[in-house]
Structure formats: C-alpha cells, structure tokens
C-alpha cells in the first residue's frame, strides 16, 4: 500500500516538474513583452485577450500540460511496478482539473481548449502502461497487487 501512495505522490511531483520546465521553456522561446509579469494573472489575461498567443507558444503549453500528465502516469507505473490504470486515470483527472482552471483564468483558442482537455487522461493511461511495462512485471492488475 505504501508503494502505491508513493507512486502517486512522486508521479504528481515528476509531472509537475516536467510541466514547469516546459512552461519556462515557452517563456524563453516566446518571451512576454517587457512589463508583463507572468505571475500577474490579470495582466496576463488582458495581454492575451488583446494580442493572443503565438501558435508555437500554445503548442509548448499543450506539451507541458499533456506531458505532465504522461510523466505522472509513467513515474506512477515505474514505482508501482505495474500498469495501475485507476491511479493513472485519477492523475489524468487531476491534471484535467488544473487545465480547466487555467482555461477559466486565461483565454485560449477553441482548438487548444479541446486538445488540452481531451488528452490528459489518455496521456496518463499511456504513461502508466509504459511505466508498468518497463518494470518487466505483469502489466495486468491482479488481486495480489
């Protein structure tokens, strides 16, 4: 049971680290204009509403979000040493809740919102499947796990 708890917690942390690295990369590749603080949501919202975001920046944000969900599932599968789909689904749902929150805070094009919300759970499930398979153990849940 402790391994399962650790798998989920470390999965969340690993996915969050990946997400933040990609978001920071996005700020380096597509810097905001001088005077716009990315931590000031009101100023950021106003800027995005007026000027939008470059497609490349949106793609990097999408990679950050979906990749964070994938990495969470992957690490969870590696630590749990199996493809634990229930935990991965919960991790994907957690990431989706974060995505919904961001979409409510900042304007985004419809294609981005749809792709963002649709990909969280499949990414986490794919990650946990790969993570479980990489351990070399049976990837199908059994009653003893």
The whole-number pLDDT of residue 39 equals 85
Q: State residue 81's pLDDT score.
A: 87
Q: Is 90 exceeded by the pLDDT of residue 119? A: yes
The predicted structure's pLDDT at residue 138: 52
Sign of CA dihedral 4, 8, 10, 11: positive
In the prediction, which pLDDT does 140 show? 54
Give the start-to-end residue ranges of the domains of the chain. 2-134
Tokens found for residue 28: 């380096």
Contact residues for 5 (Cβ-Cβ < 8 A; gap 6+): none
Q: So what's the pLDDT on residue 34?
A: 86
pLDDT at 137: 65
Give the CA distances from residue 5 to residues 55, 66, 76, 77, 92, in Å, rounded to whole numbers and listed in that order.
Answer: 38, 22, 9, 12, 16
Task: Report residue 94's pLDDT band, with 50, 70 and 90 as the boundaries.
Answer: very high
pLDDT at 144 over 60: no
**Contact partners, residue 15, CB within 8 Å, separation at least 6:** 67, 68, 69, 70, 71, 72, 73, 75, 91, 95
For the entire predicted model, the pTM comes to 0.87
Please tell me the distance from the alpha carbon of residue 69 to that of residue 40, in angstroms, as a whole number.
25
């Amino acid at each position: 049971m402790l391994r399962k708890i650790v798998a989920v917690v470390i999965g969340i942390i690993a996915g969050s680290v990946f997400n933040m690295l990609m978001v920071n990369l996005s700020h380096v590749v597509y810097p905001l204009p001088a005077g716009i603080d990315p931590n000031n949501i009101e100023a950021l919202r106003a800027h995005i509403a007026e000027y939008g975001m470059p497609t490349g920046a949106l793609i990097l944000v999408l990679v950050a979000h979906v990749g964070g969900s994938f990495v969470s599932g992957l690490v969870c599968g590696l630590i749990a040493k199996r493809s634990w789909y229930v935990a991965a689904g919960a991790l994907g749902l957690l990431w989706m809740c974060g995505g919904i929150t961001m979409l409510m805070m900042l304007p985004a094009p419809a294609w981005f919102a749809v792709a963002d919300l649709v990909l969280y759970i499949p990414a986490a499930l794919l990650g946990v499947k790969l993570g479980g398979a990489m351990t070399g153990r049976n990837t199908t849940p059994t009653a003893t796990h």
